[in-house]
Structure 1
Amino acid sequence: MKDDRLAVAIGNASLLGIGYLLLRRWRLAIASMMMTAALVALLLVEKALWPQIVMAVWWVAVVVHGWMLAGKPGPRPVAEQRVIALCVTVPVLLAGVFFRVEAAGIQSDVAEAREAGDCAGVTAAQQKARYGDRVADGPGIERLGVDVEACAELRQIASRLQTTWSGDTDTLAKEFEKLRLVLAKPGQEKTVEKVLDEYLGTVTKGGPCPTAKLATWLRNRPEGHNVLDKSRSVGDGLVPDAQFACAQTEIKAAQWRPASNRLQELIGQYPKAAISPKARVALAAVTLKVQLLDLRALIENGEYCTNPAGYSGAPRYGPGVNRALFLGEPEGFTSQLPTKWKTASPIDASVVICTEALEDGPAIRTCPYVREGYDFNFYRTFRKVVVPVKIYSMRSGQLVKSAKVVIDGPACPEVYTDDSALLPIAGSTISTPVEPTAANIRVAFQPLLVRR
Structure 2
Amino acid sequence: MRDDRLAAAVGNASLLGIGYLLLRRWRLAIAAQLMAVALVALLLVEKALWCEIALAVWWVAVVVHGWTAAGKPGTRSVREQRLIALGVTIPVLLTGVFFRVEAAGIQREVAEARAAGDCAGITAAQQKVRYGDRIADAAGIDRLDVDVDACAQLQEIARMLQGTLPGHTNLLAEQFEKLTAVLAKPGHDKTVEKVLDEYLGSLSKQSSCDTVKLATWLRDRQKTQNVLDKAGPVGDGLVPGSQFACAQSEAKAAQWRAASYRYRELIARYPKASVTSKARAALVVATLQVQLLDIRNLIDAGEYCDKPAAYGGAPRYRRGVNRALFLGETNPHIARLPRQWMTDVPTNASVVICTGALEDGPAIRTCPYTREGQTYTFYRTFRKVVVPVKIYAMRTGRLVKNAKVAIDGEACPLVYTDTSGLLPLVGSTISTPVEPSDANVRAAFQPLLVRP
The TM-score normalised by the length of structure 2 is 0.96
Aligned to 1:2: 2
Q: Measure, in 2, the Cα distance between the counterparts of 1:23 and 1:264.
A: 93
1:165-180 residue pairs with structure 2 within 5 A? 165-180=165-180
Q: Measure, in 2, the Cα distance between the counterparts of 1:30 and 1:220.
A: 67
Q: Measure, in 2, the Cα distance between the counterparts of 1:329 and 1:428.
A: 31
Aligned to 1:280: 280
Aligned to 2:360: 360
Say which SS state the counterpart of residue 373 (structure 1) adopts: coil
1:285-364 residue pairs with structure 2 within 5 A? 285-364=285-364
AA matched with 1:433: P
1:80 offset after TM fit, Å? 3.1
1:225 offset after TM fit, Å? 1.8
Aligned to 1:134: 134
AA matched with 2:250: E
Q: Measure, in 2, the Cα distance between the counterparts of 1:331 and 1:172.
A: 62
AA matched with 1:446: Q
1:372-391 residue pairs with structure 2 within 5 A? 372-391=372-391
AA matched with 2:399: L
AA matched with 2:68: M
1:44-59 residue pairs with structure 2 within 5 A? 44-59=44-59
AA matched with 1:242: S
Q: Deviations over 1:18-71 (max 9, x none)?
A: 222322334433333333233333322332233323322221222122111212
1:154 offset after TM fit, Å? 1.1
1:180 offset after TM fit, Å? 1.6
Say which SS state the counterpart of residue 379 (structure 2) adopts: strand
Residue 336 of structure 1 contacts residue 441 of structure 1 at CA under 8 Å; is this kept in 2?
yes
Q: Measure, in 2, the Cα distance between the counterparts of 1:27 and 1:180.
A: 54
Aligned to 2:68: 68
AA matched with 1:132: G
Say which SS state the counterpart of residue 205 (structure 1) adopts: coil
1:325 offset after TM fit, Å? 0.7
Residue 44 of structure 1 contacts residue 138 of structure 1 at CA under 8 Å; is this kept in 2?
yes
Aligned to 2:89: 89
**What is the percentage of aligned positions where both structures have the same residue?**
71
AA matched with 1:326: F
Q: Deviations over 1:128-148 (max 9, x none)?
A: 221111111212211222222
Residue 43 of structure 1 contacts residue 134 of structure 1 at CA under 8 Å; is this kept in 2?
no
1:175 offset after TM fit, Å? 1.1
Say which SS state the counterpart of residue 347 (structure 1) adopts: helix
Q: Measure, in 2, the Cα distance between the counterparts of 1:381 and 1:37.
A: 129
Q: Measure, in 2, the Cα distance between the counterparts of 1:413 and 1:98.
A: 130
Aligned to 2:268: 268
Q: Measure, in 1, the Cα distance between the counterparts of 2:214 and 2:186.
A: 29
Residue 44 of structure 1 contacts residue 131 of structure 1 at CA under 8 Å; is this kept in 2?
no
AA matched with 2:381: T
AA matched with 1:347: T
AA matched with 1:287: T
Say which SS state the counterpart of residue 346 (structure 2) adopts: coil
Q: List runs of 5+ in structure 1 lacking aligned partners.
A: none
Q: List runs of 5+ in structure 2 lacking aligned partners.
A: none
The TM-score normalised by the length of structure 1 is 0.96
Q: Measure, in 2, the Cα distance between the counterparts of 1:175 and 1:349.
A: 56
Aligned residues: CA RMSD:
1.5
1:105-120 residue pairs with structure 2 within 5 A? 105-120=105-120
Say which SS state the counterpart of residue 163 (structure 2) adopts: helix
